[in-house]
A = this chain, B = another copy of it.
């Protein structure tokens, strides 16, 4: 052992003890004849002190020390004259009797402090140094705690953690698979799992009843910001359950994690909002309910107007931004440009400023005064709840697109008004999603969740209908866990009947041959006694980042990849040698 204590352990109660510490040199200060060294490990920082009375060899080694050197040091715990009450070790220091250099350090390429002066790329190349910084150490410790609490909670609820394979069969549906060439079966490939979906369903068929796993998943997607080609899920499945059983079980997990990790009591039960309501009220299937600013439907009020933009629109909707009537023309123009960006794609933005004049009369100043009189605008204010000092923002167009655009505008205004406090948490469930989405480009349906999601029992007639209009209206027995505007989990009751599963594949445009080649194992399994079952998967990286109050999931992954899917520290992916390729039949 190179230490008797860690650098976060010692305080006044240890005064007089002989101790040994080991760690990294955070900084060295000389003051007159004294030298102070801040020694750091993941538990804290302890001050070491050397003076003229210290042994000669200590003073000799001292000359040689530098930032990030690793040392082990022996000495006596003494009370400090000038105390630092901000840290637990701040009342003591160690009067050194001996010191040994365990490892030297070059000057680090960036500062290893709370905030670093290094750019993202540089810090990625030296990830092992970035990981020394306190915010990353906290993030990694939080992730450990999240995993530990998840496992102990689910274990106590009777769940078994069961490992599923990583070298599986390629069955892409949606995202692309990563594949692994087989040397022993040349010309054939394994695939890395996008999720253990089919395995957990097979485990239900095997009678395991309550399964979970904290598991790596892989998707070869063109990476958007803050997506990783490998990511971690809390993957769960239960048998003999209906939707409300699943929600109750995992609401328990959610509340446990809030309490045990953040110390927060979240009122139960969590709000539950049907997908249709979420779209109509929040313009989002993952609503941020930390603030109101709901969407309001102005379509009935704007149907008979000379303003052709509204008259011809499938939907006209508005949000009321409290206290924002003071927005200047310039600010409103800038906001209009903002909603016109391709990411949102709105045609424009109509505004109404509401204010009470000194005589007590409400006045409305809008960008459409030409088309709408005071009475009309007053009705808008009534519907949206706008009063003195409020700003009504109105958008119009195709219904679903406009709801979504208004939803994005709502979040933006929430940000501008600082209504989205990252330390305030507002979790909820969203349920009753559409089962299918029609894709114009490929002229086929895609599963909104995945092809194993069951339709709601009351929609079975429509599910077996040959009319696409009926199919579009089928609701899935699916649910999402949403936290502060982010989808953190998603799940469903699954199909457990082979005929229904084959129908689903048919609806998705898969030929019987394709189904057989890709999914015969699961279709077969359904023929030997499959229990009703359902489950959920949580995005673990994202959940950790939300609990850690961070925008970036990368801080919560020890060795993440960049947006191009590269590990800059390893320099991977990389070329492999010709012999390796030849053995794999790839040359």
Interface residues of A (CB under 8 A from B): 1-3, 22-24, 40-42, 68-70, 72, 102-106, 108, 126-129, 131-132, 137, 140-141, 143-144, 147-148, 151-152, 155, 160-170, 172, 176-185, 187-192, 199, 202-203, 205-209, 216, 218, 220, 222-223, 229-230, 232, 240-242, 245, 496-497, 517, 521, 524-532, 557-559, 561, 564-567, 569-576, 580, 583-584, 586
Contacts and interface: CB of A to CB of B under 8 A. Distances in A.
A169 B22 contact: no
A128 B51 CA distance: 71
A571 B183 CA distance: 16
B128 A571 contact: no
A229 B181 CA distance: 13
B167 A558 contact: no
Contacts of A189: 573-576
Contact of A206 (B1, B129, B183, B209): B129
Number of copies: 2
A449 to B, nearest CB: 22
Contacts of A526: 103
A570 B184 contact: no
Contact of A170 (B24, B129, B576): B576
B42 A574 contact: no
Contacts of A41: 207, 209
B240 A22 contact: yes
A108 B190 contact: no
Contacts of A68: 528-529
Contacts of A192: 166, 180
A565 to B, nearest CB: 5
B178 A180 contact: yes
16 contacts: A2-B241, A102-B532, A126-B528, A140-B160, A148-B151, A163-B232, A166-B166, A166-B218, A167-B230, A169-B573, A170-B574, A170-B576, A172-B580, A178-B180, A180-B192, A183-B220
A458 B576 CA distance: 38
B144 A162 contact: yes
B169 A140 contact: no
Given A132-B206, A192-B180, A208-B131, A199 B575 contact: no
A230 B166 contact: yes
Nearest to A528: B105
A21 to B, nearest CB: 9
Nearest to A155: B148
Given A184-B565, A230-B167, A571-B169, A528 B497 contact: no
Given A143-B162, A189-B574, 4 more contacts: A1-B240, A1-B242, A165-B561, A176-B183
A39 to B, nearest CB: 12
B531 A102 contact: yes
B530 A168 contact: no
A205 B574 contact: no
Contacts of A242: 1-2
A180 B180 contact: yes
A213 to B, nearest CB: 10
Minimum-distance CB pairs A-B, first 8: A131-B206, A169-B572, A105-B529, A188-B573, A2-B240, A182-B573, A68-B529, A169-B570
Given A169-B573, A206-B128, A103 B218 contact: no
Given A181-B179, A529-B24, A564-B184, A167 B69 contact: no
Nearest to A212: B144
Contacts of A207: 23-24, 40-42, 131-132, 137
Given A169-B572, A586-B586, A106 B160 contact: no
Given A183-B220, A575-B188, A557 B525 contact: no
A241 B22 CA distance: 11
Nearest to A43: B209
A208 B528 contact: no
Given A68-B528, A108-B528, A528-B68, A567 B179 contact: no
A84 B566 CA distance: 62
A103 B199 contact: no
